[in-house]
A and B are shown apart, each in its own frame.
Chain A
């Protein structure tokens, strides 16, 4: 230990000196004192962040972690400390705090075992009154919480309070929120109305009570419509509101009004693309027994948005009934489209339709249609639908499906394809006839000639 010369030095992969030079800024021999000063000030400025800011940020992230792990008590503990951000000297942080506190706090109170509706109410009422901009949002969410707990009346009262809230110019900038509050109120009224409708349906029309009941329903619906119709004018996705509004209009015989609302909801360009809008319109028109062309035109749009929608089979059937040639072609397209989706691979209806349609199309000498649709799929459908694996599992689980698929495979890929070969080799008593027919069809129609 005493002999120092025994110690040699170990060198690290990079020498300390090299780094030193880079940190002095310039290896070129140029010296910029002003730059140095500037860099220093940047460094010290970063250092200046107060421990208060650091710890509250840290607290927030720990609280989020606790929430993710469903540790509600720990999260409540962090919230207890995080609340001091409401007193932050930094205006920007102070103003951003209520929203964070409300969101995380309501989450904690929603799940915490010791929390109750009263606790939540007190919390919501306190949070509403911090800062002007939060009142409506929190009121609305508070109402939703109450709804979740089945406290309809309280929720309704809450919404009513929010609806009448005004704060100078601030209220006009939050018009959409006010509309939303009103619409939710309308939805609650719809619920009562709907209940009354049920009661009414159980009453005898001759009954004395019937009249009063229907009268009160009418009152309700009138108030509700006012509440609902403002919101659905504004572009957005308002499914439940539109549905209930239309139901009420329909009930009172205002079919034109209802149709207008639905048409507007589905076709107005300002509204975001929404498949449900077209579904609602279609169902309404179907109930109305609208002409086939009309129905087809509605579903055409739905097909463009959601090609795998379950209404597509109805769409297909409508197209089949049509005499127009282009509708027949579209029908084929729709079937191919449905089967492009992994969720529909085992849909026997789709395969049955496709097999039949393919046969008919080929019989009608429309090979070009099939070629056109097949071209974009021939690279991936064989593996996607017609693999050996599928052949085995389909045969094991659903023999009729396997037969339909084999027919399609045979037509599209020829006799030599794995799927067709596997199925056609199987021996089955009941399906014997079917198999024979299948083989014959393939021989006759296959687009791949050997």
Chain B
């Protein structure tokens, strides 16, 4: 209560006729002698901050409505900046160098603000008010299209727009970083941020709008620039495991940054990032930022296929000796060249290599070269290996595909089940619920309270053994040891019995091969091949599903990558089949 402020009211109290007014926390006058609260509320009369009296009148009307949501003035891009900060801090704790934040991401972000004309330019977008009704929308809001509450929101926003237009003279140019606007968000009843409503309506061709998934694209671009030892699939897995903030990041915004209305649609997210989406966003973003060629990916970089293949061979428990073969495939196909590997956004057709998917695809090709994977040869080779191993227990064991399959199948099934359970139990909703309008607020908070109470009740009934502690982040998902028979380690096993000497070099016993894709799709649809599981051998299906689970990608995209590698190896074959009808050409081997 502040008696000083209450002096301007000279009326008598209707209850006790005294003239002694105080102001309640809600800004209403109350009589200090009889505690009668009036309907009248105190206006903020800070004339210094308001340029003319007309605005003062407007502010009076809306002041009371906004009393619950007052906070700092902030812009949407600041929100994204905060998310990026959280993410990059998390990356730092994962062991990424500090330059990533200070130099790389910072300059990318600056460049983004500049390119999207939000700051660091002569005529920032915020100052140019206009009604844009562009036809095209960026696909960024896919998450919210089905949102039924949008209708009411739409009404609110159109209201806000007309309000904004009635006072255009207020929006004078201001430099960035933003100074608090004096008329703090009066017109925008439907977003906590200053430009939330306008931001979600802004549709401008050629501008890549910021979305929460794109923050990850920013992270990945910076990681790529720094040539850090984190692949895209690793990054997304860390997100899923909660090591990198992504869902409900707004919870950690400062208390004074209020989010509601439109902000909900911009910052709340209810999906995990999808590899293909983030990959696409990364390229889009890099092109939009007009970035120069990235530092070369050379042989000593983690992202080089030779190193990644080694990593994934260890991960999936395959013999180290296979590395020799993967290196040969890399060499033969030329995909180890820096020119091929390095990301160059300004090149004619911007395209970055999916390093992780490609490395896995190479391993699959090598498996096909060695074992054919036709549901036949791999088993007969396993029989031979098994017999040999029984006889020669002291020697280095031969790699037994069947044993490997058994061990891997069991481990992956267990892992998958745990993963599915964890996903099903994932708690999406924030402690700090977002609402679309102030009318909606009590309902939303009430709902939150109900859920929290019910959850409390059921949590006492859950198995008393504490839930497995949050896993430490690791680039490896499996751990193989010699001791545990369920987790037998095959790293040291040899490929003898599968390879044979031919002159000076070793060659595979198996001389056959089948192509994952016979003919590539050249139609308008974007995919180059399709993956119809039932057309393929069981072993191939297993290998594909195993690896695609490791990377958390769709089986079809891994199959596609395998086909693309094969296309490079068997270039000649593909060219031949182009000239002659392919069906006659291919020998059927059973």
A interface residue numbers (CB < 8 A to B): 1-4, 6-17, 19-20, 23-24, 36, 44, 48, 50-52, 55-56, 58-59, 62, 72-74, 76-81, 83-84, 86-87, 89-92, 101, 105, 108-109, 112, 114-115, 119, 122-123, 126, 130
- Are A86 and B427 interface neighbours, CB within 8 A? no
- Are A4 and B570 interface neighbours, CB within 8 A? yes
Verify if B475 is at the interface (C-beta below 8 Å from A). no
A109 contacts across to B, CB distance below 8 A: 461
B514 contacts across to A, CB distance below 8 A: 9-12
**Residue from B147, B429, B444, B499 with most neighbouring chain A CB atoms (10 Å):** B429
Which of A15, A55, A90, A92 makes the CB contact (< 8 A) with B426? A55
**Number of B residues whose C-beta is below 8 Å from A?**
74
- Are B328 and A87 interface neighbours, CB within 8 A? no
Verify if B114 is at the interface (C-beta below 8 Å from A). no
Q: How far is the CB of A206 from chain B (nearest CB, A)?
A: 57
- Are B517 and A16 interface neighbours, CB within 8 A? yes
Which of A13, A77, A90 makes the CB contact (< 8 A) with B462? A77
| A44–B280 alpha-carbon span in the complex (Å) | 15
With A48-B142, A126-B453 as given contacts, are A72 and B461 in contact (CB-CB < 8 Å)?
Answer: yes
Q: Who on chain B is nearest to A58 by CB?
A: B424
Verify if B530 is at the interface (C-beta below 8 Å from A). yes
Q: Mark B415-430, 1 if CB is under 8 A from A, else 0.
A: 0000011011111110
| A105–B454 alpha-carbon span in the complex (Å) | 10
| A59–B426 alpha-carbon span in the complex (Å) | 9
- Are B450 and A62 interface neighbours, CB within 8 A? no
- Are B450 and A130 interface neighbours, CB within 8 A? yes
The 5 closest A-B pairs by CB, nearest first: A10-B514, A17-B519, A7-B513, A52-B270, A76-B461
B583 contacts across to A, CB distance below 8 A: 15
B421 contacts across to A, CB distance below 8 A: 62
Q: Who on chain B is nearest to A63 by CB?
A: B424
- Are B451 and A9 interface neighbours, CB within 8 A? no
With A91-B148, A115-B461 as given contacts, are A23 and B525 in contact (CB-CB < 8 Å)?
Answer: yes
Q: How far is the CB of A113 from chain B (nearest CB, A)?
A: 9
B505 contacts across to A, CB distance below 8 A: 1-2
- Are B457 and A87 interface neighbours, CB within 8 A? no
Verify if B12 is at the interface (C-beta below 8 Å from A). no
| A79–B460 alpha-carbon span in the complex (Å) | 12
> Would you list 24 pairs from A and B whose C-beta atoms are within 8 A, ordered by A residue?
A2-B505, A7-B369, A7-B570, A9-B587, A11-B514, A11-B518, A11-B589, A12-B536, A16-B529, A20-B519, A20-B529, A48-B143, A76-B458, A81-B424, A83-B455, A84-B427, A84-B428, A84-B451, A86-B447, A86-B454, A87-B447, A90-B146, A105-B458, A123-B457
Verify if B448 is at the interface (C-beta below 8 Å from A). yes
Q: How far is the CB of A46 from chain B (nearest CB, A)?
A: 11
B147 contacts across to A, CB distance below 8 A: 89-90
| A2–B325 alpha-carbon span in the complex (Å) | 10
| A87–B448 alpha-carbon span in the complex (Å) | 7
- Are B427 and A81 interface neighbours, CB within 8 A? yes
- Are A87 and B429 interface neighbours, CB within 8 A? yes
Q: How far is the CB of A235 from chain B (nearest CB, A)?
A: 37
Which of A90, A101, A114, A130 makes the CB contact (< 8 A) with B460? A114
A114 contacts across to B, CB distance below 8 A: 460-461
A74 contacts across to B, CB distance below 8 A: 463
With A48-B145, A84-B451 as given contacts, are A1 and B507 in contact (CB-CB < 8 Å)?
Answer: yes
A90 contacts across to B, CB distance below 8 A: 146-148
Q: How far is the CB of B98 from chain A (nearest CB, A)?
A: 33
Q: Who on chain A is nearest to B587 by CB?
A: A8
Verify if B132 is at the interface (C-beta below 8 Å from A). no
| A4–B513 alpha-carbon span in the complex (Å) | 10
Q: Mark B326-339, 1 if CB is under 8 A from A, else 0.
A: 00100010000000
Chain B residues 98-154 with CB under 8 Å of chain A are 142-143, 145-149
- Are B423 and A55 interface neighbours, CB within 8 A? yes
14 further interface pairs, Cβ-Cβ under 8 Å (given A55-B424, A58-B423, A101-B454): A2-B328, A6-B507, A9-B587, A10-B514, A12-B514, A12-B518, A19-B530, A58-B420, A80-B458, A87-B444, A87-B447, A89-B149, A119-B457, A126-B457
User: Per DSSP, are chain A's interface residues mostly helix, strand or loop, or mixed?
Assistant: helix
Chain B residues 290-348 with CB under 8 Å of chain A are 325, 328, 332
Q: Who on chain B is nearest to A77 by CB?
A: B462
Q: How far is the CB of B512 from chain A (nearest CB, A)?
A: 6
Verify if B32 is at the interface (C-beta below 8 Å from A). no
- Are A83 and B454 interface neighbours, CB within 8 A? yes
With A9-B515, A15-B583, A86-B451 as given contacts, are A24 and B507 in contact (CB-CB < 8 Å)?
Answer: no
- Are B325 and A1 interface neighbours, CB within 8 A? yes
Which of A1, A72, A84 makes the CB contact (< 8 A) with B328? A1
- Are B519 and A12 interface neighbours, CB within 8 A? no
Which of B272, B525, B535 makes the CB contact (< 8 A) with A51? B272
Verify if B586 is at the interface (C-beta below 8 Å from A). yes
| A50–B212 alpha-carbon span in the complex (Å) | 14
| A7–B511 alpha-carbon span in the complex (Å) | 5
- Are B462 and A80 interface neighbours, CB within 8 A? yes
Q: Who on chain B is nearest to A43 by CB?
A: B525
Chain B residues 237-271 with CB under 8 Å of chain A are 270-271
| A403–B138 alpha-carbon span in the complex (Å) | 89
A73 contacts across to B, CB distance below 8 A: 461-463
Q: Mark B451-472, 1 if CB is under 8 A from A, else 0.
A: 1011101111111000000000
**Residue from B142, B374, B458, B587 with most neighbouring chain A CB atoms (10 Å):** B458
Verify if B524 is at the interface (C-beta below 8 Å from A). yes
- Are A10 and B512 interface neighbours, CB within 8 A? yes
Q: How far is the CB of A25 from chain B (nearest CB, A)?
A: 9
- Are B458 and A79 interface neighbours, CB within 8 A? yes
Verify if B532 is at the interface (C-beta below 8 Å from A). yes
- Are B513 and A8 interface neighbours, CB within 8 A? yes
Verify if B508 is at the interface (C-beta below 8 Å from A). yes
| A78–B427 alpha-carbon span in the complex (Å) | 11
- Are A24 and B271 interface neighbours, CB within 8 A? no
- Are A2 and B513 interface neighbours, CB within 8 A? no
| A90–B270 alpha-carbon span in the complex (Å) | 12
| A78–B586 alpha-carbon span in the complex (Å) | 53
B530 contacts across to A, CB distance below 8 A: 16, 19-20, 23
B586 contacts across to A, CB distance below 8 A: 9, 11
A11 contacts across to B, CB distance below 8 A: 514, 518, 586-589
Which of B148, B428, B569, B582 makes the CB contact (< 8 A) with A15? B582
A1 contacts across to B, CB distance below 8 A: 325, 328, 369, 499, 505-508
Verify if B171 is at the interface (C-beta below 8 Å from A). no
Q: How far is the CB of A45 from chain B (nearest CB, A)?
A: 8
With A62-B421, A126-B453 as given contacts, are A50 and B270 in contact (CB-CB < 8 Å)?
Answer: yes
Which of B142, B374, B425, B525 makes the CB contact (< 8 A) with A59? B425
- Are A24 and B525 interface neighbours, CB within 8 A? yes
B271 contacts across to A, CB distance below 8 A: 50-52
| A126–B446 alpha-carbon span in the complex (Å) | 12
Verify if B521 is at the interface (C-beta below 8 Å from A). yes
Q: Who on chain A is nearest to B272 by CB?
A: A51
- Are B573 and A36 interface neighbours, CB within 8 A? no
Q: Mark B561-590, 1 if CB is under 8 A from A, else 0.
A: 000000001101100000000110011110
**Residue from A16, A17, A83, A108 with most neighbouring chain B CB atoms (10 Å):** A16
Q: Who on chain A is nearest to B150 by CB?
A: A89
- Are A10 and B589 interface neighbours, CB within 8 A? yes
A7 contacts across to B, CB distance below 8 A: 369, 511-513, 570
Verify if B477 is at the interface (C-beta below 8 Å from A). no
| A162–B197 alpha-carbon span in the complex (Å) | 45
Verify if B372 is at the interface (C-beta below 8 Å from A). yes
With A87-B448, A126-B450 as given contacts, are A15 and B518 in contact (CB-CB < 8 Å)?
Answer: yes
Q: Who on chain A is nearest to B463 by CB?
A: A73
A4 contacts across to B, CB distance below 8 A: 332, 569-570, 572
Verify if B397 is at the interface (C-beta below 8 Å from A). no
Q: Who on chain B is nearest to A1 by CB?
A: B507
Q: How far is the CB of A305 from chain B (nearest CB, A)?
A: 46
**Residue from A1, A6, A72, A91 with most neighbouring chain B CB atoms (10 Å):** A1
| A326–B456 alpha-carbon span in the complex (Å) | 71
